[in-house]
């Protein structure tokens, strides 16, 4: 399983056309949405074989390029990852650092939180992961 560009030891991983990094996808979509641009599925469709197995960092770097081109920068970003296992705590700082590097910001501007669904629904049963990302952009 890959979350935030960091490999986690787990017996399962997300299903996805690219590397399935739900965290980087959510951050990418948050930036694109804040800019009023098309979402990740429109820009990098799963019907295009060019994106099969792609590193999701490529998508985020493209969103950052478009953000910079639009004369914006990330003021801060808040990400909530909802999953039962694996536990996020051991890799939270590595994810935070990786996202900060991809965004070109200080890690203090990136917040990562982990939550569970207390064994309820697909997430709680360990069959899914959900990620929410909120970004505040400012003029550069």
Mean pLDDT of all residues in 92-103: 97
What is the pTM assigned to this prediction? Answer: 0.90
Q: How far apart are CA 45 and CA 116, in angstroms?
A: 30
Question: What tens digit of pLDDT does each residue of 108-130 get?
Answer: 999 999 998 777 666 766 667 89
Which of the 8 DSSP states describes residue 131?
Answer: E
Q: What is the pLDDT of residue 117?
A: 76
- Residue 84's CB is within 10 A of a number of other CB atoms, namely 19
Segments making up each domain of the chain, as ranges: 2-139
Please give the residue that has the higher pLDDT: either 11 or 57. Answer: 57
Q: How far apart are CA 136 and CA 31, in angstroms?
A: 8
5, pLDDT greater than 80 = yes
| Fold that domain 2-139 belongs to in CATH | 60s Ribosomal Protein L30; Chain: A; (3.30.1330)
69, pLDDT greater than 70 = yes
Mean pLDDT of all residues in 4-8: 91
Element (H, E) at 42: helix 40-43
């Amino acid at each position: 399983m890959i979350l935030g560009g960091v490999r986690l030891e787990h017996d399962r991983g997300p299903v996805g056309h690219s590397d399935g990094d739900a965290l980087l996808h959510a951050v990418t979509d948050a930036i694109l949405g804040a800019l009023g641009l098309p979402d990740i599925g429109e820009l990098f469709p799963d019907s295009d074989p060019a994106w099969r197995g792609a590193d999701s960092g490529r998508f985020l770097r493209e969103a950052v390029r478009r953000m910079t081109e639009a004369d914006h920068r990330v003021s801060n970003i808040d990400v909530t990852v909802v999953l039962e296992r694996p536990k996020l705590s051991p890799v939270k700082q590595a994810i935070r650092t990786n996202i900060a590097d991809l965004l070109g910001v200080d890690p203090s501007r990136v917040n990562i939180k982990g939550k569970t669904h207390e064994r309820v629904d697909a997430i709680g049963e360990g069959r899914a992961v959900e990620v929410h990302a909120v970004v505040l952009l400012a003029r550069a």
